[in-house]
Structure 1
Amino acid sequence: MDGGIVLHPLPKLALVIAGNFSADENADPATLLNYLPEELALRCDIKEWSCQPSTHYSIPMTLAMEEMLESVAAEGYAGIIVVSGCGVMEEIAYLVNLLWKRSEPVIFANLMVQGRAGVKEGLMNLHCAVLAALSPAAQNKGVLICSSGELFGADDAVLVDTESPDSAFQSPLRGSVGKLLNGELKFLREPKRPVFLAVRPKEEVPYVEIMWASLGGGDRMLSSLMSSRELKGLVLAGFGAGNVPPSWVPMIRNLVRSRVEVAIVSRCFQGSVHKTNDFEGSFEKLEELGVMTGGRLNPFKARIRMTLGIAAGLTHNGLSLYMQNQPVSDNIAELYKI
């Protein structure tokens, strides 16, 4: 209290080091605060969790990261900024977003920008992420990615060009959630939040793979996957609107009969799957076999969503709904294996 006025402490942020943030492997994370205005630096507490390259991450490690972020948020921080490499940031942020029910924002900051503008661009992203995390408007927006002075929703952010200082990440369908304009952060739209699982995924994650369709290719690889006893799920990255070579059909049929969960998505950058023509290997024929649709999910996001759904114990019907971002928290007895 000062002169009868109650002074409330300013909101604090957690700056979590979860990957490499500098080309210098010996760089001290504390130096990041030196590049922020003093009034912002004083609002940040550094939490060192990992400095390994993001390409060393796995789904179990990312689940452990999400649990750590939950614990950090419970300490009372207004928001969390995660610093890691951008190589698999799209997938890591997407996984965390699928589990993040809290109101505090989690913002992944892309500091590892390539090229001559890299250092300046990376520090701008750090500044932008701090401003965003402190903004009341960031509450209940889930997980965001900050890159090129813009904020992208983790649900549809895509890593496009690691060497571009202007468009490393994009949200092709809906555009950015916010932008840093003349030093001021402006939020432009609401990101799409995911439906949440009623059961947290188990730590022992199932083996789920991606099978990419290519010109006359993939038969031997698919045959090898079919013989794996560990395989629990398979995402087919099909041609165009969700079609695969006819030579794949017998193997896909056997996988479905073996109770391996199979989903079809498009391998195209902005593709979606839907019915077109009715021929062997077409989307319509795959659905008749029991293959579920992944809609507009890209293969990477579809694999993560399928992995979490299986790990949470969803039935085939429950997983089909979850892959389409349909509610799976109500009829637990029918949608989960309990």
Structure 2
Amino acid sequence: MPGRMISPYIHVCATGGTIAGRAGSPTRRDYRPGQIGIEHFLTRISALGIDTVLTGEQIANVGSEDIGLPVWAALHSAVQSALADDDCAGVIVTHGTDTAEETAFLLDQTLPTDKPVVLVGAMRPDDAVGSDGLRNFANAVRVASNPDASGRGVLVVMGDLVHSARDVRKAVTTGTSAFRSFPRSPIAAATPGSLEWFTDPWRTGEGARHPLPKTMPDVAVLYAVAGMSASAVTSAIAGGAQGVVLAGFGEGNAPAAVREALGDAAKAGVPVVRSSRVDEALVDREPDDDRLGLVAARALGPAKSRILLQLLLAQGITNFDAIQAEFGRR
């Protein structure tokens, strides 16, 4: 974290990913993420004529498939330190796209909302034809520099659109328009020279909803498939899972034997959340949920449901009603 700056600045926390990746050829399909350091990246950004003062910090330089609690803890600490400086107007996190939604949601739940925190990545490496990294980053600077970006939780900027961390997910494996939002659509459109908000802030002045734990409880995600047996549930519990998220069919469904096994786990004190493997899914409470003691994920997909349940369990929150209330928050 840099010393106190004379003028407002945006602090950039770099973690690697495709936005810092290189292929060695502008037309090569495969590439290695996390090849460019933050100082080199900021030098390239300065050539664009962006007048915002930027400082940088290298937290990690890996593909986002390798990001977990150790990187999250270092990143969280760096972001908190930056936000505590009165001269820091906001923070940008550069990140790989594979787990961007998970890091964004974790930060969204564990940081205050009084200053913008913007996560940005790229779908094409730095040296590829049509690389989107610099444009996405310039858009992120535009968003993070805007006071109206605060009070919205953590934001994700990709493909000229701004997404809420709670709603965003990667929906396409290739191409620069790979991110979608549900149930809300993108909340703004951004270019290096413009920013148009589609909605008012909804979390103004809100503090962190949950602390970042030193360890994350083991929560298993079970993917529902045709012919699935209850052994998937019993194996997860026997393996030490302290909570279970079902990536169910449709509105969080599973074969009857699996649902009963999940109910048995819940009655034994292992919280169970019904989510869905469907890309755009609302999982509401059903009559059987009361009988079985299951939590409905609402609009959170399996990955974010797992993170939220981990944060709750780390605080000792196992009460069914308390967990359900957290999944119903906006």
TM-score by length of 2: 0.84
Residues 1:307 and 2:310 aligned together: yes
Correspondence for 2:180 among 143, 152, 170:
170
Inter-partner Cα distance in structure 2 for 1:74 and 1:197: 14
The aligned residue for residue 38 of structure 2 is 29
Q: What does residue range 173-184 of structure 1 map to in structure 2 within 5 Å?
A: 173-181=183-191, 183-184=193-194
| 1:12 equivalent in structure 2 | 9
Deviation at 1:201, TM superposition (A): 4.5
How far is 1:250 from its partner?
3.7
- Code of the residue aligned with 1:320 in structure 2: it is Q
Corresponding residue for 1:320? 324
AA partner of residue 144 (structure 1): L
Per the alignment, residue 250 of structure 2 pairs with: 240
Q: Which amino acid aligns with 2:325?
A: L
Relative CO higher for 1 or 2, CA cutoff 8 Å, sep ≥ 6?
A: 2
Q: Does the 8 A contact of 1:153 with 1:192 survive in 2?
A: no
Contact preservation (8 Å) 1:113, 1:162: no
Measured after TM superposition, the shift of residue 319 of structure 1 is 1.7
Deviation at 1:83, TM superposition (A): 0.6
Instruction: Output the CA distance in 1 between the equivalents of 2:263 and 2:270.
Output: 10
Identify if the C-alpha distance between structure 1 residues 201 and 144 changes in structure 2 by more than 3 Å, giving closer, same or farther.
closer
Deviation at 1:142, TM superposition (A): 2.1
> Any conservation in 2 of the 1:261–1:291 contact (CA below 8 Å)?
yes
SS at match of 1:234: strand
- When structure 1 is superposed on structure 2, of 128-137 and 309-318 the one drifting more is 309-318
Equivalent residue letter for 1:82: V
Larger Rg: 1
Is 2:142–2:191's contact at 8 Å kept on the other side of the alignment? Answer: no
| Structure 2 unaligned regions, length at least 5 | 23-33
Please, what TM-score do these two structures have when normalized by structure 1?
Answer: 0.82
Partner of 2:216: 205
| % identity of equivalent residues | 24
Change (3 A) 1:286 1:42: closer
Matched, 1:298 2:298: no
1:192–1:117 distance in 2 versus 1, CA, 3 Å: farther
Q: Which residue of structure 2 aligns with residue 335 of structure 1?
A: none
SS in 2 for 1:78: strand
Structure 1 residue 134: Cα displacement? 1.0
Task: Between 315-324 and 94-103, report the one with greater CA deviation.
Answer: 315-324
Matches within 5 A, 1:19-98: 19-20=16-17, 21-24=19-22, 26-33=35-42, 34-36=44-46, 40=50, 43-59=53-69, 61-75=71-85, 76-98=87-109
